[in-house]
Amino acid sequence: MLGGDARCDRLLQALRELIRDYEPPADPSRQLAKDLLQRINKHVDFLLKFRPQAASMGNATRFIKIQVGKLPQDAGTEWARHRKRLIEALERFQWERVTVAGEETAANACDKVADGDVVLCYCYSEVVVRSLLMAREQGTRFSVVVVDSRPRMDGTKVLRVLTEAGISCQYVDVAAISYIMREATKVFIGASAVLANGSVYARAGSALIALVAKDSSVPVIVLAETNKFHERVQLDSITANELFDPRDLLKFSHGGPDAAQLRDVESLPKLTLLNLNYDLMPADLVAVVATEAGLIPATSVPVILREFRKDLQANFGH
C-alpha cells in the first residue's frame, strides 16, 4: 500500500476499530479522554516505527485527537453514546475528506483536459488516473504520456488501466523527459502533500519533470485533496524525507547488470546507496492545484488551511 489516500483510509478504519474496542479505565481517578489519547498515541507511535505518516494520515490523527480532547470529564458514565459519536465523526471525515474529496478533485482536474491534449503523468497516482478516466468517459479525445522511473516502475499500472479504457498512451523512462516534454500540452502530478509555502511534496522525480515543463512552457497541474495540505514549511527535500530500501536500486527485472556484477557493490567503502521516496517541487513550478474546493494557486494554501480548520470546528465539533 503506497498511496497516501489508501493509507489514510486504512488508518481511519483502524482508529474506528480502536475506539469500538476501547473500554473506559476501571480507576475512576483516570480521565477517559486522557486515557484514550494515550492509547491512540501508543498505536500511532507503533505505526511510525515502520513508516512515516503521510500528510493526510497526520491530519486524520490530529482530527480524532481534537474530538477526544473535547470529551467531558464524566464521559465514562455514558461511554456508549460518546463512542458512537466518535465513530460517526470518523466515518464522516473518511467519507467527506477522503472518498468524496478524491472524486471531486479528479472531476475538477478532468475539466482541464481538452480535445487534442497530450497529458503527461508521472508514476502512479490514484487521483490522476481517476481524472483521466473521467475525461475519457466524457468523450474528450486526448492521449497520455506515462513517465516512469526505477526502482518501483509503478507507471506500468497506470499504463495498463488507461490502455484498457481505450486511451492512447506512450510509455517512457524519466531519462527521456526533456525529449518527450515537447509533445505534452499539460502535466498532471499527484501530490503526497502541499505545504504552507505552496511547495509540493511528491514522488522523487516530480520536481525534475516540473522544471522541464516550466522551461517548455507546459502547465503543471498538481492534484491534491485539501486533506493533504500541511502547515509545515520546507525548502528542500533533504530536511525530511522517507527512505526506501536502497537495495531496490540494485534490482533489475531485465536488461541490467547481472548478479555477479552487483554482488560486492554494497560493501564498497566510499559508496552510499540512497533511495528517496519524495522530492520537493517549488511553488513557482506549479500552474495550479486541483482540489475538491476547485482550482487554486499554490500560494493560496494558507487560506485553504485556515478554512479547513474552521470547517472542522463547524461540522465536526460539539
CA distances from 213 to 108, 190, 253 (A): 21, 15, 30
| C-alpha cell recorded at residue 172 | 517512457
Going by C-alpha positions, the residue among 66, 71, 72, 106 that lies closest to residue 90 is 66
Q: Could you say which of 87, 103, 119 is where a domain stops?
A: 103
- Confirm if 309 and 227 have CB atoms less than 8 A apart: no
- E strand segments, 247-304: 278-281, 288-291, 294-296
Q: Are 99 and 111 part of one and the same domain?
A: no
Q: Are 189 and 216 part of one and the same domain?
A: yes
Q: The domain spanning residue 284 has which CATH number?
A: 3.40.50.10470
| pLDDT confidence of residue 317 | 47
| pLDDT confidence of residue 90 | 93
Q: Are 199 and 90 part of one and the same domain?
A: no
- Confirm if 106 and 223 have CB atoms less than 8 A apart: yes
Q: Is the pLDDT of residue 274 over 90?
A: no
Structure confidence at residue 231 as a pLDDT band (50, 70, 90): confident
Q: Are 173 and 209 part of one and the same domain?
A: yes
Q: Are 43 and 161 part of one and the same domain?
A: no
Mean of the per-residue pLDDT values of the chain: 86
Q: Are 159 and 304 part of one and the same domain?
A: yes
* Mean pLDDT within 99-112: 94
Q: Could you say which of 103, 121, 139 is where a domain stops?
A: 103
Q: Is the pLDDT of residue 254 over 90?
A: no
How do strand 288-291 and strand 143-148 relate by DSSP bridges? unpaired
Q: Could you say which of 103, 128, 147 is where a domain stops?
A: 103
Question: Rounded to an integer, what distance in angstroms lies between the CA atom of residue 223 and that of residue 194?
Answer: 10
Q: Are 151 and 177 part of one and the same domain?
A: yes
Q: Are 43 and 158 part of one and the same domain?
A: no
| pLDDT confidence of residue 134 | 96
Question: Rounded to an integer, what distance in angstroms lies between the CA atom of residue 188 and that of residue 166?
Answer: 19
Q: Are 123 and 161 part of one and the same domain?
A: yes
Structure confidence at residue 59 as a pLDDT band (50, 70, 90): confident
* Mean pLDDT within 64-68: 89
Q: Are 96 and 158 part of one and the same domain?
A: no
| pLDDT confidence of residue 311 | 62
Going by C-alpha positions, the residue among 162, 160, 157, 155 that lies closest to residue 135 is 162
Q: Are 125 and 204 part of one and the same domain?
A: yes
Q: Are 146 and 276 part of one and the same domain?
A: yes
- Residue range(s) defining the domain that contains residue 28: 4-103
Into how many domains does the chain fold?
A: 2
Structure confidence at residue 3 as a pLDDT band (50, 70, 90): confident
Question: Rounded to an integer, what distance in angstroms lies between the CA atom of residue 228 and that of residue 52?
Answer: 14
Degrees (nearest 5) of the Cα angle 279, 2, 239? Answer: 30
